Amino acid sequence: MGVAPSVTDTAIPSLSVLDLVPVRTGQSSAHAVASSMALAQRADELGYRRYWFAEHHNMAAVASTTPPVLISAAASRTSRIRLGSGGVMLPNHAPLIVAEQFAALEALAPGRIDLGLGRAPGSDPVITQLLRRSGTTSEAQEFPQNVQEIMEIMSPDGASFSFSNGGTYESRATPAATASPEVWLLGSSDFSARLAAQLGLPYVFANHFGAPGLEQAMTLYRETYQPSERHPRPQSFLTANVSVAPTEEEAHQRALPMLRQFARMRTNAPMRPLETIEEVLAAPSEGAEAQALEQVRSSWFIGTPEQVAPRLREFAAASGVDEIMVSGSLGAYESEPLDEPTGNAQTLQLLAEAMFTV
């Protein structure tokens, strides 16, 4: 039996999950996906609000390349939790394809689908070309129009496109929709915050990347927000990298493999599958990589449940949000099963027990 947030205690933020479907040493993609599906089921049981899959391409440590496929699989294994993309990288896809995929998901799991949209490609220029989109600056500038097209095509009434000769063309993502997914804009700069406010949409700042500008983006979003019919008030939550374990030592060890991945990205080192905890401990980071690792670690929430829960509550209160999306992708010990989310499931369990009321 799961636990859930008290509806009367606004000081307790809801919890959600962002999943990159991490692939560690010795794992196959099948192992990694099976592990993520088990984690989605556990999050559903524990009362987490939503579970989102990221979109990244051609990365040795990330199997989350197709959010709609993973959302569909998770929908068949869960009953309550909202499922979504964190996010679909719109420069990679035609708006109609995105609208059709998520309209189908809404029909599959009514009232449980979120469509998070991002403006970045989520990979390198070669992969962007292979995805059959140019990924140019001009396409990024088309992002606002593409977002609006997707929302219109997914709506029960569909969209009407006008031609220069005066004709029109009607388009619907699915023949007889009764509702549409909830659209969120994602970003780590002022651009998406400003656009979300202009369109009256929910907004998420990608805080787990450790990018600066959180306070500025959130203030801009709230102060310039234009109410919409579906969202009369601004709505947002924040992502946070979290590692919780019975002991502080284990929590820090669980965080090490992903911390090293972030450090390697910052120092332009080659990427490889997520190391096991033993691999990291046997060859500690040095020099610039060690410095980058410590910089990344400073923004994480690491420790026992008693240490982390108060910090997350304070973080949510200071940021004015009622929800935190946990992004861990935590490391595993070599003895742990390849198809089970041992460390991540432990974090979700301990965090729920520490922060939720029965």
Whole-number pLDDT of residue 138: 45
Question: Pairing between strand 168-171 and 159-162?
Answer: antiparallel
Whole-number pLDDT of residue 11: 64
What does the pLDDT average to over 66-94?
96
Whole-number pLDDT of residue 112: 98
Give Cα separations from 163 to 13, 89, 173 (angstroms). Answer: 48, 28, 20
**What's phi and psi for 150, nearest 5 deg?**
-60, -45
pLDDT higher than threshold 50 for residue 48: yes
What does the pLDDT average to over 252-281?
95
The answer to whether the predicted template modeling score (pTM) of the entire model surpasses 0.85 is yes
What does the pLDDT average to over 103-132?
87
What does the pLDDT average to over 57-74?
96
CA count, 13 A, side-chain hemisphere, 11:
5
Whole-number pLDDT of residue 312: 95
Measure the CA–CA gap between 21 and 154, rounded to whole angstroms. Answer: 27
Categorize the per-residue pLDDT at 127 as very low, low, confident or very high, splitting at 50, 70 and 90. Answer: confident
Total residue length of the chain: 358
Q: What does the domain layout of the chain look like in residue ranges?
A: 14-159+169-355
The CATH number that domain 14-159+169-355 falls under is 3.20.20.30
pLDDT in tens, 138-175: 466 789 999 999 999 999 999 888 887 878 889 999 99
Query: Quick one: what percent of the chain has pLDDT higher than 90?
Result: 80
pLDDT in tens, 85-113: 999 999 889 999 999 999 999 999 999 99
Higher pLDDT, 159 or 199: 199
What does the pLDDT average to over 321-329?
92
Measure the CA–CA gap between 217 and 290, rounded to whole angstroms. Answer: 30
Q: 20 in helix, strand or coil?
A: coil
Q: 89 in helix, strand or coil?
A: strand
DSSP codes, 321-355: -SEEEE-------TTS-TTS-HHHHHHHHHHHHHH
Q: Which residues contact 234 (CB under 8 A, 6 or more apart)?
A: 197, 202, 203, 221, 222, 225
Whole-number pLDDT of residue 76: 97
What does the pLDDT average to over 204-212?
82
